Every structure is written in structure tokens, then in C-alpha cells.
Amino acid sequence: MRHDAQGLVLSTASDAAAAAYDHLVNGYLKYRLDLPQRLKALLEADPEFGLAHCIQGYFTMLAYKQAVVPMAAKSEALARRFTEHATPRERAHVEALAAWIAGDLDRAVELWEHILAAHPRDVIAFRLAHFVNFWLGRPQDMLASVQRVMPAWSSADGKPFGSMLACYCFAQEEAGNLIAAEPAGRRAIEIDPGDLWAAHAVAHVLEMQGRRTEGLQWLAALAPNWEGGNNLQHHLWWHAALYKLEQGDTAAVLDLYDTRYRNQNSPLVIAQPDVYIDVQNAAAMLFRLERLGVDVGDRWGELADKAEGRIGDCLSGFTLPHWIMALTASGRTEAAERMIAGMREFGQGHGTMAPIVRDYAVPISEALVALKAGRATEAVALMRPALGGMYRLGGSHAQQDVLEQIFAEAALQSDSAEDLRLIVERVSGRRQLPPQRSIGWRKAAARANL
Ligand SMILES: [Fe+2]
């Protein structure tokens, strides 16, 4: 038996494995790109360390990609075999991985929270619950989770405490408590300026309050610390582009697109060309730009190519409408229809995501197809029933905004004052910002007489 840096028992007899485990967990907390190497070192130090195999399965599932699920299942089998005599905590992790692989995200979160009730310093259980709750649109659960475990942490814990503060900040922000959120995120950056999640959480606060110049300064000052970070870097640059967009600098938005958040020549994008967060960043920005009449050139094409490769893969519900944006914008209606058929089929299955895809991803995607075909009234009718619950697809307020813009565009094109009023009131209430202060909402707000 060894202990990890948080004082939790590890079922390994290897000092090297215990050290490699801490290195891996720190890498996960800080969004490091070299996680695969850290994991490899851990498994080499102790090939029969069950929790390490379980974490390998978790990391595989974090791709939200159907094609790699069998790899996660292999990790689960090994983890199960090697945790036969491990601690209940480690065995519960294997059950959570199994639930995740089976698509039962509710059960996985339940198991992580169960672990946390006994071991509030289990950062893997905590961060996975935080993350999976986020992609299920459950900010109140994210907040309750972090509030339950925070008493077990203090500034004496150093950088991992910063990671906890970053999660606290983001959960508060997504729950709408911007005043409580910001100081926690800033404190996390004081502890570790290279904490991408803390940089991101504060960026969200600034976005929601329309503090664009401050937001750009915030990210520019922190960017030198991001070397060695993973794809979350792209998302931070996407946030910078979002501020630029609001300042009306669409040339800068496109420049950041090509150099920072969808740079197809970057080794990271070449190695992983269809990561869900990257696709969301790219498609959501191109959609916003086109609504403003900006020529985005041929940028949709490569996204549409990747979309065709992901037909039938519905693990990342929030990404689905983004794939459809790429397909419809590229005129690939038939492929879009095939992707929607795949969603309908997935929606008839079991698991946490099935009804979410059926009730929200499908109608939004159908609305995109109808809107592209010039059937705006139909698009409004298709999407209206999804408005109230589409937060369940996950994603932040800033990201959900693009779904609301789909509806606004359809309502504008169909000249439906009632629907414009509905969506503008909804958005302005949530953002704590007058709609006129957001470039994508000015026209809709004016037409809705708000
Ligand atoms: Fe974000």
C-alpha cells in the first residue's frame, strides 16, 4: 500500500508508481498535453495497478468519442482484474468507469459523489463529476459538489487547491453567481498562473458581464503560462476571439481562428483533428460570423469532412448541432440528414444521453436544416419546444448562446415578433447584460422592441 499526495490509499507496492500517479493526477488537474506519457510511465512502474488502468479508461472516455469506447472497455476489464483486492474506493472507481462506458452518466456521477462523501480529497472523482455534470447542463450539481468537498482543502495544499478554486469559480459562474465566482478564480491564478481552468472560469465571468477589454487583457497576460497545455488552450483563445467579436473586430476573430483556436497546421490539431471542444469553438464562431455577414471563406469544409466521419456518434450531445452547422453551411444536406437519422436511432436507446439527444439535439439539428433551406417558420416551430430544456445538452452560457442564436435567426427570418421576444427575454435574463450590448443580439432586440 502507498498513499497519494492527497493522503488516499493506493493499492500499489511501488514507490515509483505512487510518484507517477501523483504526476499523472497533477497533469490531469492542470490540463497538460503530456498526459499519455505520464500514464505510460505509471503503467510501466506498476502494470498491475488497477486504479491506473481505470484512469486510463476514464481518459479514453473523456474524448466523448464512440470509436474509442472499446479501448475504454479493455481498460475497465484490466482495472477490474487488478482491483480484486484493492480498496473499496478504487473498486468504486471501476464501477463508475463501467457505468460511464454503458452510457449511464447518472450512475457514474452518483458513484463519484459516493466516493467523495467518504474521501472528499479524491480529486479524480471530484473533477470527473464536475466535468460530466457540466456536459449534462447541471451547474447546481457542480456547485453543490464543490461546496461539499471544499472544507477538506486549504491553501496549504498548494496548486491542487488552486484547481479546486478554479472549479468553485466556474461552478458559481455557471450557476449565475458571478460575484461569488470571480475572487475564487483570481485566487486560483495567484496560486498557479498556469491553471487553465482558472483562467477560463474568470474569462466566463468577464464574458457574462460584458467586460471585453478586461477579458482580453486577462487572457493576454496569462497566455505565456499556457505552454504544454492541452486543447483547453484553444478554447481560451476562442474566448479571446469572442471578446474581439463583441468589439466588432471580425478580422482579429478570423486571425485567431487560423492561428490559435483552429490552426490546422498546429501539431495538436494534426494529431487530434476532431476533438469535440475544438469543433464547438470553430463551428460556433463561424456561425456567429456568418450571421453578421462576414465571409468565412472555405473554413467550413474541413469541419464538414470531420462531421461526416462522426455520423452515428452521439456521445457529445452539445457537439451534434455544431456538426450539423458545418454540414448545412457546406451544402451537405444529405449528410446532415444521415447524421440526424443517427441521432434519432441513438435517441431510442438507453443511457443518460439518449433522451437528451432525442429531445434537444434532434430538433435543433432539424431546425438548422430547415433554416438553411429557407424554411424559417418551420425552423422556429421545430426548435421552440427545445428551448426550455436544451441546457441539458451541456456547455456554458457562452456556448449555449449559439443555439439561442439559431432560434433568433429563424425568428428574424420568419418575422415572428413573438418568438423574437421570447428568445431575447430569455437570453437577456440569463446573461445579466442588456441584449443590445451583444453584437449577435442587437438586431433581434431591436425587432422585438426590447
Ligand atoms: Fe468556455
C-alpha of residue 75 to centroid of ligand 1, in Å: 30
Identity of the residue numbered 370: A
The answer to whether residue 450 scores a pLDDT higher than 90 is no
- The C-alpha atoms of residue 240 and residue 258 are separated, in whole angstroms, by 13
At residue 449 the predicted structure's pLDDT band, cuts being 50, 70 and 90, is confident
C-alpha of residue 232 to centroid of ligand 1, in Å: 9
Surrounding ion ligand 1 within 5 Å at CB are: 396
> What are 330-350's pLDDT values in tens digits?
999 999 999 999 999 999 999
C-alpha of residue 439 to centroid of ligand 1, in Å: 18
C-alpha of residue 135 to centroid of ligand 1, in Å: 12
C-alpha of residue 447 to centroid of ligand 1, in Å: 29
Task: Find where cell 461552478 sits.
Answer: 171
The answer to whether residue 391 scores a pLDDT higher than 80 is yes
C-alpha of residue 31 to centroid of ligand 1, in Å: 14
Identity of the residue numbered 371: L
In order of 40, 53, 56, 89, 369, the CA distances from 77 in angstroms are 18, 9, 11, 17, 42
At residue 429 the predicted structure's pLDDT band, cuts being 50, 70 and 90, is confident
C-alpha of residue 399 to centroid of ligand 1, in Å: 7
Residue 252 grid coordinates: 482579429
At residue 315 the predicted structure's pLDDT band, cuts being 50, 70 and 90, is very high
C-alpha of residue 358 to centroid of ligand 1, in Å: 25
59: left (phi over 0), alpha (psi -120 to 50) or beta: alpha
At residue 428 the predicted structure's pLDDT band, cuts being 50, 70 and 90, is confident
Q: pLDDT value at position 137?
A: 98
The answer to whether residue 432 scores a pLDDT higher than 90 is no
C-alpha of residue 7 to centroid of ligand 1, in Å: 32
The answer to whether the Cα torsion of 226, 227, 232, 237 is positive or negative is positive
Contact 169, 188 (CB under 8 A): yes
C-alpha of residue 431 to centroid of ligand 1, in Å: 14
* All residues at 6 or more sequence positions from 239 whose CB lies less than 8 Å from its CB, including other chains: 200, 203, 204, 207, 215, 219, 398
C-alpha of residue 124 to centroid of ligand 1, in Å: 21
C-alpha of residue 201 to centroid of ligand 1, in Å: 7
182: phi then psi, degrees, rounded to nearest 5: -60, -50
At residue 431 the predicted structure's pLDDT band, cuts being 50, 70 and 90, is confident
C-alpha of residue 46 to centroid of ligand 1, in Å: 36
C-alpha of residue 200 to centroid of ligand 1, in Å: 6
> What are 118-152's pLDDT values in tens digits?
999 999 999 999 999 999 999 999 999 999 999 99
C-alpha of residue 397 to centroid of ligand 1, in Å: 8
> What are 76-135's pLDDT values in tens digits?
999 999 999 999 999 999 999 999 999 999 999 999 999 999 999 999 999 999 999 999
Three-state SS at 9: strand
Q: pLDDT value at position 364?
A: 98
C-alpha of residue 235 to centroid of ligand 1, in Å: 6
Contact 41, 23 (CB under 8 A): yes
The answer to whether residue 29 scores a pLDDT higher than 80 is yes
At residue 438 the predicted structure's pLDDT band, cuts being 50, 70 and 90, is very high
The whole model's pTM is what?
A: 0.97
Q: pLDDT value at position 343?
A: 98
